[in-house]
Amino acid sequence: MEQVQLLIDGTFVDGEDHRWIEVLDPSSEEVIGRAAEASPGDVDRAVEAAHRTFPTWSQTPPSARAAVLRKAAALASSRLDELARLLTLEQGKPLKEAKGEIRASIDALEYYAEEARRIYGETIPTDQANRRSIVIRQPVGPVAAIGPWNYPVLLLCWKVAPALAAGCTMVAKPPSVTPLAVTRFLACLIEAGLPAGALNVVLGPGRTVGERLVRHPLIRKIGFTGETRTGETIMKAAAEGMKRISLELGGHCPLLVFPDADVEAAAKAAAYRAFRNMGQICNAVNRIYVHRALHDRFVEAMVEETRRLRIGRGIDDLDLGPMTTREGLEKTMDHIEEARAKGARVVYGGHRPAGASFEKGYFLVPAVLVNVDHSMKVTREETFGPVAPVMTFDTFEEAIGLANDTPYGLVAYVFTNDLKTALLAAERLEAGTVGINNVAGGEVPFPYGGWKESGLGVELSHHGLEEYLLLKHIRIEFK
Ligand code: NAD
């Protein structure tokens, strides 16, 4: 039985109420571990520790902050297999994907270790001969970092790494569904020599522990990834005390296939990005628009690609594992049924896989749907499951209009070999990221942020570091 505790002021402790959260293996529905649940008093103590440590950590020289991040990255690398196994067990993703997530999290620590030494200021010319103006960047203060269960280690690292590099102290709240690997990963920072109190970890439900954390008056900034509705709640809470926020929220990402595209390559990419991690990704392909002339070829190729995907326990390391939660599975089945009732045709999947090994667990065969329209939930709400609805278009304008017909604006994908189509589509699509002839995910050197209801602010790159810094103008006058 795996177990993680809270981390408060440099010490791992049980919650003061001695309550525990059970952690399930989604491929067997069996309890595999538990996590200590924080009380309101535990949250307060964690925030107070972050507040107390802020003067020390923020004044630690950048190279020393960088050294801690680098050492933590080395420790996590030495534990890669163990961390990945734990992540697979609690989240369900295949082992190679879990390893990829841990490696990307290590990359975030290393990248922001480098950036810690590049927090530059500026000088601005003045009209007065006896004045000088300099602008410096300083850490915003104690940060609350809150993440979801689909990439629990990576998405917290995308906050922890820049915040600590900037000189902020923190209280992190991993998700209750998948608290194990991320808490063990964060422990590497403590072992690497982070001062006690600079990074605290509290665990527990969003509505109690999360709310207490974001409403705490000593928190100066909230970094959050999760659902759009939760993001709205957090934004309202942050208004009290005027806390800074960056919000990475839901998505409903379109993929457009123009008449000149390589249709097989587009179908292969679409199947990968729609179904990877069982569609439980903010940048999953959620709606596919194919030029009418290519529709049948595309659907045939997409079904072929989907048929090839092997499903099994994450630990068996095939292509797809189970979904992470029963609620997620039920929501996905409901979206498929609603679309079917409104006239969509399920050309592949959408049912539980057959066989004794799938009697337990949240398994689902990925679904490809045709005859879809924008009245259906699969095109309007974030399914967060392995469903790929395919629709058609006739003109460029129609394709752009359909793609932008959503309150979300996270990522859009375009397949075309025509330079003009590629550039004009990239400019017209309402999204923080546009992929042309690729479906690559977020990578640490490049800014990643949502437009419209997909978020506020950016993560990753040097822009992501700015989210944890405040500008200060220092005006100097002399005689
Ligand atoms: P969620 O919003 O339910 O929960 C996210 C985190 O917030 C959890 O740790 C939860 O405990 C906490 N929380 C919930 N209510 C809270 C509150 N009132 N105050 C403070 N904290 C609270 O999201 P989820 O189901 O864990 O994750 C899936 C969602 O995350 C999807 O919508 C997905 O698109 C989104 N997501 C976005 C990105 C991105 O970069 N834009 C990346 C991954 C996932």
210 lines ligand 1 (CB under 6 A): yes
Q: Kind and range of the H or E element at 103?
A: helix 95-115
435: β partners = 413
Cβ atoms < 10 Å from Cβ of 435: 21
Q: Which of 97, 282, 453, 466 is catalytic?
A: 282
Q: What does the radius of gyration of the chain's CA atoms come to, in whole angstroms?
A: 23
DSSP code for 208 = I
What pTM did the predictor assign? 0.97
User: Which pair of structure tokens corresponds to residue 22?
Assistant: 């059970």
Measured in Å, residue 77 CA sits from the centre of ligand 1 at: 27
- Give the number of the atom of ligand 1 that is nearest the alpha carbon of residue 176: 11
> Which phi and psi angles does 395 have, rounded to 5°?
-125, 160
433 lines ligand 1 (CB under 6 A): no
Q: Which of 37, 101, 115, 248 is catalytic?
A: 248
Measured in Å, residue 147 CA sits from the centre of ligand 1 at: 6
Cβ atoms < 10 Å from Cβ of 227: 16
Distance CA 164, CA 109 (A): 9
141 lines ligand 1 (CB under 6 A): no
Distance CA 198, CA 139 (A): 13
| Residues in the chain, pLDDT under 50 | none
Measured in Å, residue 419 CA sits from the centre of ligand 1 at: 37
- Give the number of the atom of ligand 1 that is nearest the alpha carbon of residue 214: 20
207 lines ligand 1 (CB under 6 A): yes
Supply the pLDDT for residue 253.
98
Alpha helix ranges (H) inside 257-347: 263-275, 295-308, 326-341
468 lines ligand 1 (CB under 6 A): no
Distance CA 273, CA 269 (A): 6
Supply the pLDDT for residue 134.
98
Measured in Å, residue 57 CA sits from the centre of ligand 1 at: 28
Residue in 215, 227, 383, 408 to alter for ligand 1 test, most ligand atoms within 8 A of Cβ: 227
Sole residue written with tokens 């006058």? 477
Q: Helix 62-78 vs helix 152-166: angle between axes, to the nearest 10 degrees?
A: 160
Catalytic residue check, 305: no
Supply the pLDDT for residue 339.
98
Catalytic residue check, 248: yes
Supply the pLDDT for residue 343.
98
**Closest C-alpha to 253, from 298, 283, 228, 226:** 283
149 lines ligand 1 (CB under 6 A): yes
Supply the pLDDT for residue 313.
97
Sheet arrangement for strand 131-139: 122-124, 131-139, 469-477
Measured in Å, residue 173 CA sits from the centre of ligand 1 at: 11
Supply the pLDDT for residue 55.
98
Which residues, at least 6 apart from 278, have a Cβ–Cβ distance to it below 8 Å? 92, 93, 320, 321, 322, 323, 324, 364, 366, 385, 386
Which residues, at least 6 apart from 453, have a Cβ–Cβ distance to it below 8 Å? 228, 249, 250, 407, 408, 409
User: Which pair of structure tokens corresponds to residue 320?
Assistant: 């797809």
